[in-house]
Structure 1
Amino acid sequence: MEITFTGNTGNDVGISTAGYRTNKFNQKEWRENNYALYLQSFKDRENSEKSRNDATNLINSTEAILRRIDDVTKKLGERILDISFWKFELERVIQDLLAETDLLVALKKQLENAYRATELPLHIVTDNLNCRLRRQGIDLVEDPVEMALLKEMKIINDVRDLLKKTIARAEQQIEANRDAKQKLEMDWSDKKEALEIDNRCGMLRDHHTDKQFYPGSAKFQENQSSPESWAQHTHDNIIMAENERMSSIQLQGLIQNILEDTSKDMVEQHNNVLKEFQKHLQELDDSKFKLQTHLKKICREISDAEKSIEDLNKAIRDKEDQLKKAQTRLEARSHRPGVELCRDIPQYKLISEVDEINNAITALTEHRDGSNQLKNLQDTRMCLEKELSNKINSIFIDRQKCLTVRERYPSSLRLKGLQ
């Protein structure tokens, strides 16, 4: 160690010129300098000892810090377990919600199929009603068949409205399920990222090289959550998702009941319409048979009436010949000469005969011309023929048009949307 001496002469002289100094240190200065060196040495030793003691204390305190660091690693492990637990719960709820959503989507498709299946029954009942408008005469009646068809149309329209509303409700529930699933997936993604970070932090050791200083990192951020709010956030998301899942399950049961009830109502009313058709067709067939029977009788009666009129005409013609003969005799005898023009018995007989024949011809003519039976019979025949034509037309419409179309009525499975 090089020691430099200083004096109070006011001139500093380097080592190279030491031999040439005219002024030298005195004894006092020499002693003071030594004393200063002793004092400095004491202070340095004292400071060194204190530093060593502080170092020892610091080492001991850092050992406690290291123990706390080990405690942080343990707490990180516990935190990893917490995150893993909630991450597993989120995965479970996501899978459950996804399965329920898939079932609801399948039921929604079944509803749409059922809704499309109602188009054919609606077309059938509309066609039936339009066809029956072509019935003629008295057959254009508001009968039980028409009432059953109108009821069927109302049932179909009500079913279509209900299915349409249920489809809309299913779409809303599916959207709610997907929104809940998205929130769960975002939470799960955050948990996954946080788990990777904490795993990496928990595995970090002093001898690892992938560490460095980050000044300012040891402070709380304003947007940080508390452990309670962190757990409550995930808990709320899971509760919300479970509520949506339960709503989805309830809606699935409702949809199943709706599909079952609507198909049952439509098939039941379809069968009722068929029964009314069969009953009405039986009545039409009976009426047709009776009309045909009466028409045959009327035709026979018309034939007999026409023969009777012909007999009357023949009788009149025969009486007219007899009248001509009697009148010709009277005319001839009126030309007898003189006294021969006598009112004898033949004269009286001929005159009486003419009167009787005239009375007979008059009676026959009046009976022939005064009777309207033939006209009435002919009018009745025309009415029967027209009514029979109406019945044949009604039977054709109900049996050939309506019932033939109703053979295309969809099955119960198709009305449920399963085909």
Structure 2
Amino acid sequence: MAKNLEIKSDQLSHEHIVIVRPPPPRYTLNEWHLNHQHRERCCLDQQKLAELVTQEADRVREEVEERIKSNKDETDKQIENRRIDIEFNAVEIQKQRKDVCIEIDDLKTYMERIKDCLASLQRNAKVICGKCIILREGRIGIDLCEDDVEHELKAELNIIEGSQKMLQSTLEEANEQVRRLKSVTYFMDRDLEDKGNVAKIDNHNSILKETSLNLSMYHGFTPLNQGFITNEEWEEFTKNNIEKASKEINSARQFRTYTDIIIRQAFQDLWNQYHAVNNAFKQRIREIRKAKNKMEVQHSEVVRQANEMTRTITELEKCMSEKEGFMALAHTRLGNRAQRPGMELCKDLVEIALTHETVELRRNLSKTQEVFAEAQASLRYLLKTQIQLEEDLNVKTNSLKIDEVDCMTLRESLDYHAY
């Protein structure tokens, strides 16, 4: 519209025509008064409204400032309470963690005890027991028998192997217990690390003021309150960690008590069997020594009797040699008297005496020969018995050397003690 008027004005100016504006509107006096009253009422209304707004603004500002201050104080209080809670829980976790670490060290000490027991049984007890069994295989003759010593040695070997299995199983359980304790320590360390980071954040937040520098407004769309875990869940999590640690500590302490019982029982069983084997050895050594002493006495007696029998045989030979002279004398006399002539060849008393002497000599010589044969047989049996006794004495000497010298000397280095 204005553009059209300008165009027309330009056209009229070219035509030398002047446009006169219409006169302003004319108002009445009554309208003037009404307008003046209206303006005055509006001014008063605006002033009243401004006063009300000012009062309301002051009230709202004071209320907002009071609420903001109250909220900030409450937030500061909650931050401080939270910091105290975190510190308290952290201290409790640290105490429990210290107990767990102490228990881990104690369990490792017990594991070393078990390993020492196993090593000692493997390198000392089992080797010595096996050597004793092998050495006793060197017995010879009738002494190579299954006696009480062999039974006790085999029982000792079984007890050693059984103790090894039991201790190995206990060692595996100890490893598992240590693993569980370390797992608890890991989760407590993570919890302590998280609580430490939160404490740093809350400590930093506690020193921030509304006038602090480097404050910023967030204009993003993602909510700043990312927390989705309730305070009860948070407390329950820490409580569960502490309770789990306490449970594992109690379990470890019970296991250490159980380990003490196992080691003590194994030690007692091994020690009892050690004495049983030694007593069996001593009893067997006494039996062998008694038998050996008896054999030595018998051997001495047999040697004596053999010597006497040898002398007896010599005397019998001498006796038979002498009797042969008497026999030859009688036969010669009879032969000479058989040459008597005629009626002189009669059975006179001399003939009868010589005949009787010859019969008696033959009977005595035969009897002496029988005794001589029996003496020779007896001497052979005595010499055979002497040889057998000497062989048996060698067997007993060998057995005594194996049991008393070799095995008992080995067993002196056998050491069972509670680790």
Q: Which string of whole-angstrom CA distances, capped at 9 and with x for unpartnered residues, describes residues 101-138 of structure 1? A: 11111111111111111121111112112222222333
Match of 1:208, SS state, is coil
Give TM-score, length-normalised by structure 2.
0.84
Q: Which amino acid letter does the alignment assign opposite residue 286 of structure 2?
A: Q
Equivalence for 1:127 = 131
Equivalence for 1:328 = 332
Map 1:1-400 onto structure 2 (within 5 A). Answer: 11=5, 22-24=19-21, 26-28=23-25, 49=50, 55-56=57-58, 59-63=61-65, 64-119=67-122, 120-215=124-219, 216=221, 218-221=223-226, 224-335=228-339, 343-370=347-374, 372-400=377-405
> Separation in 1 of the partners of 2:202 and 2:315?
127
- Structure 1 pair 184–21 and aligned structure 2 pair: CA distance change class (3 A): farther
> Separation in 2 of the partners of 1:354 and 1:30?
216
> Separation in 2 of the partners of 1:411 and 1:151?
16
Is this contact kept in 1: 2:103–2:253, CA < 8 A? yes
- Structure 1 pair 244–340 and aligned structure 2 pair: CA distance change class (3 A): same
Is this contact kept in 1: 2:309–2:379, CA < 8 A? yes
State, as a whole percentage, how many aligned pairs show the same letter.
Answer: 24
Pairwise CA distance, 1:370: 4.2
Match of 1:28, SS state, is coil
Is this contact kept in 1: 2:149–2:284, CA < 8 A? yes
> Separation in 2 of the partners of 1:321 and 1:9?
200
Pairwise CA distance, 1:146: 2.7
Mean CA deviation greater in 342-351 or 321-330: 342-351
> Separation in 1 of the partners of 2:196 and 2:70?
29
> Separation in 2 of the partners of 1:185 and 1:30?
91
Q: Which amino acid letter does the alignment assign opposite residue 69 of structure 1?
A: K
Pairwise CA distance, 1:324: 2.3
Q: Which amino acid letter does the alignment assign opposite residue 108 of structure 1?
A: M
The gaps in structure 2 that reach 5 residues or longer are 8-16, 29-34
Is this contact kept in 1: 2:270–2:416, CA < 8 A? no
Match of 1:225, SS state, is coil
Equivalence for 2:12 = none
Q: Which string of whole-angstrom CA distances, capped at 9 and with x for unpartnered residues, describes residues 158-215 of structure 1? A: 2211111111110000000000110111111111111111111121111111221222
Q: Which string of whole-angstrom CA distances, capped at 9 and with x for unpartnered residues, describes residues 23-58 of structure 1? A: 536413999xxx9xx89x97xx68994876775465
- Structure 1 pair 28–353 and aligned structure 2 pair: CA distance change class (3 A): same
- Structure 1 pair 288–51 and aligned structure 2 pair: CA distance change class (3 A): same
Match of 2:5, SS state, is coil
Give TM-score, length-normalised by structure 1.
0.84
- Structure 1 pair 23–240 and aligned structure 2 pair: CA distance change class (3 A): farther
Q: 1:407 aligns with which of 384, 387, 412?
A: 412
Q: Which amino acid letter does the alignment assign opposite residue 11 of structure 1?
A: L
Equivalence for 1:16 = none
> Separation in 2 of the partners of 1:207 and 1:384?
117
> Separation in 1 of the partners of 2:3 and 2:398?
153
Q: Which amino acid letter does the alignment assign opposite residue 94 of structure 1?
A: R
Pairwise CA distance, 1:338: 6.3
Number of residue pairs matched by the alignment: 396
Pairwise CA distance, 1:315: 1.5
Pairwise CA distance, 1:279: 2.9
> Separation in 1 of the partners of 2:243 and 2:18?
97
The gaps in structure 1 that reach 5 residues or longer are 1-6, 14-19
> Separation in 2 of the partners of 1:409 and 1:74?
71
Q: Which string of whole-angstrom CA distances, capped at 9 and with x for unpartnered residues, describes residues 235-264 of structure 1? A: 111111110011011111111222223223
> Separation in 2 of the partners of 1:24 and 1:54?
50
> Separation in 1 of the partners of 2:399 and 2:57?
118
